[in-house]
Structure 1
């Protein structure tokens, strides 16, 4: 293995500066972002879609260096470990604590039905971010924080100034996804009502033959509305991808307030909602009856999403900075 003439490897096989990192030039210590899975998109042989979202959006407000570790089955100081479903071992984080490792958190992905083991939440990490909002889980302790799903890798972030006006877009609405959950009801309503929607619902989840992410993104950018029905959970990547594309999402209301991920202390949001998909034709008719009101709604949705992203980044920065300061002192 070639390591370079100036790089000494520790016993773990990692360079010494990763095991005992010095403060960065701006005076801030680096965070080690460790993915405990193949973080390539699923259609590329990996296991998740959201590396870009986590690395380039969620961590973008940290104001400290971030070392990205892919498929790294390691334990490190000053780290945030991203997990899909379960830790590498049941006592992974407890072992980290017992081994003297400090200042580490976890980002828990994949618990969309709230059926995974979460006993490790109280067994080690200084803080935990998790996808899929559940009020009861969030109340397990002050260290558990909800983090939205975000967009799939390759979708990218789009400056709001580049987003086309709703009244210039090619498609009235779209749905691109599988027919899980009650989505067939929605598709039947669209077909019977004659709504001019772009529909692609003939592929299963993560089918490698599905639309490429760039084609998919462009379809959302050219759609006034994006239909965002429930799947295994009320939350979906599709919702956030629509928001990023400036396409007004239409979502189902969440009957269980314990799972209301859009209403968790953020104030009112402008996202149109239906209780049943039979309401969709009338809702779209009302929203498009006035071009001026439609453009105002689009601007409100785009503004809300920009504010929401800044809020996510501020929350993550505050939690990570607080953990660094507890261990390394102010300004770490």
Structure 2
């Protein structure tokens, strides 16, 4: 009996000692590290808060100004995909309807385009802010654009703000739109227009870059897939439509006589609005395989080719001689205004016959290392240029809409 009592007491003492040891370990060991653990937990909570804040910035759009962009011109895709960097989220068969949305700063943009978008659709416009992208290139396009502006006029009491981005006439005959601008008694808060129109004042009318030929399905190059380090086998390229009595005829004569071995040359004598898969691929390869892209004046000095060359790191060689442009309302003294203001990496010529031999001779003497650095600089500049245009676009919206 005594032995059993002693055994019980011994077990109790052992358990008590274990409890005391456990308390000691918890209090002196674990509590010593508690501030560090607490700080770690607090940091994790802060990280979660930051993630929640970021998610709210993306998901909670109740504080944003919603702006609908309705595009009835191909330059709308350049605005949406290249300048605002928005994605196409909906695309029906044959592009009958295209849509997307993107948050940029304090704005939420909704993009709409396609044949299914008609003037009657304006009755169902969900936002109070509308930007129309229109084509005013010729009489038929102007008639269609006017129908849209008149359609907006009918429902303008439901719309707080209206702006326009427009492909202008290549000879800058754009006076038809002036009465619709707010400062002239109309309801359009601002107009961005392609080409160097004399009426551009950076107050109500602003200039917009022509950009890439999205209507011909010109690709948006992935810079990571372009080999900038390789030697390009051709010095220059000239892939274009030849217009009668233009400097393009002068240029093709020079190239055919002297430079067929070092330049990619492919011309046609009738303009075509669409490209075949083969002709588009040929043109893209010409840009990719040469370091100079020759761009003489067509109907207007600004050409898709300029921006398409820049997107592949090929230097546009452009013509400053405006004598070929006649019966124009464009400002000849402000030719390439947007590009010059942004110090675009272009080569300017005034006379192809006199200037081109020196340009090509100089190009042949440049090292590959120099050309590689130049290509990278061109790509970097073009990216910054698009960001600059985006900033100007948002600034005008902020001034005119907010």
Out of 289, 294, 302, the residue aligned to residue 235 of structure 1 is: 302
- 1:24–1:65 Cα contact (<8 Å) kept: no
Secondary structure of 1:129 counterpart: strand
* Counterpart in the other structure of 2:64: 28
Larger Rg: 2
- 1:163–1:246 Cα contact (<8 Å) kept: no
- 1:193–1:281 Cα contact (<8 Å) kept: no
Q: Residues 91 and 262 (structure 1 numbering): CA distance in 2 closer, same or farther, change over 3 Å?
A: closer
**Deviation readout 1:289-316 (Å, 9 max, x if unpaired):** 1214333433332222121111111111
**CA deviation after TM superposition for structure 1 residue 68, in Å:** 1.3
- 2:164–2:190 Cα contact (<8 Å) kept: yes
- 2:248–2:297 Cα contact (<8 Å) kept: yes
**Deviation readout 1:214-248 (Å, 9 max, x if unpaired):** 44223211222111111111100011001011111
Out of 371, 379, 383, the residue aligned to residue 294 of structure 1 is: 371
* Counterpart in the other structure of 2:397: 320
- 1:155–1:214 Cα contact (<8 Å) kept: no
Of 63-72 and 244-253, more deviation after overlay is shown by 63-72
> Quick check: which one's helix share is greater?
2
The structure whose RCO (Cα within 8 Å, separation 6+) is larger is 1
User: 1:56 and 2:66 equivalent?
Assistant: no
Return the alpha-carbon distance in structure 2 between the equivalents of residues 65 and 81 of structure 1.
12
User: 1:66 and 2:110 equivalent?
Assistant: yes
Secondary structure of 2:147 counterpart: coil
Q: Residues 30 and 94 (structure 1 numbering): CA distance in 2 closer, same or farther, change over 3 Å?
A: closer
Return the alpha-carbon distance in structure 2 between the equivalents of residues 254 and 133 of structure 1.
15
**CA deviation after TM superposition for structure 1 residue 166, in Å:** 7.0
Out of 340, 350, 362, the residue aligned to residue 275 of structure 1 is: 350
**Deviation readout 1:252-310 (Å, 9 max, x if unpaired):** 125532333355532x3321111111111211211331214333433332222121111
Return the alpha-carbon distance in structure 1 between the equivalents of residues 224 and 274 of structure 2.
32
Return the alpha-carbon distance in structure 2 between the equivalents of residues 318 and 208 of structure 1.
35
* Counterpart in the other structure of 2:235: 172
Unpaired runs of 5+ residues, structure 2, are 1-57, 87-102, 137-141, 323-331
Mapping of residues 1-332 of structure 1, within 5 Å: 25-26=60-61, 27-36=63-72, 39=73, 48=74, 50-60=75-85, 63=104, 64-71=108-115, 72-74=117-119, 75=122, 76=125, 77-85=128-136, 86=142, 87-89=145-147, 92=150, 95=153, 99-116=157-174, 117-119=176-178, 120-121=180-181, 122=184, 123-134=186-197, 136-139=198-201, 142-153=203-214, 154-165=217-228, 168-180=231-243, 181-195=246-260, 196-202=262-268, 204-208=270-274, 211-255=278-322, 256-262=332-338, 265-266=341-342, 268-278=343-353, 279-291=355-367, 292-324=369-401, 326=402
Question: RMSD between aligned alpha carbons?
Answer: 2.8
Q: Residues 316 and 270 (structure 1 numbering): CA distance in 2 closer, same or farther, change over 3 Å?
A: same
* Counterpart in the other structure of 1:4: none
Q: Residues 305 and 96 (structure 1 numbering): CA distance in 2 closer, same or farther, change over 3 Å?
A: farther
- 2:235–2:364 Cα contact (<8 Å) kept: no
Return the alpha-carbon distance in structure 1 between the equivalents of residues 229 and 258 of structure 2.
21
Unpaired runs of 5+ residues, structure 1, are 1-22, 40-47, 327-332
**CA deviation after TM superposition for structure 1 residue 98, in Å:** 5.4
Return the alpha-carbon distance in structure 2 between the equivalents of residues 151 and 186 of structure 1.
23
- 1:30–1:67 Cα contact (<8 Å) kept: no
Q: Residues 183 and 82 (structure 1 numbering): CA distance in 2 closer, same or farther, change over 3 Å?
A: same
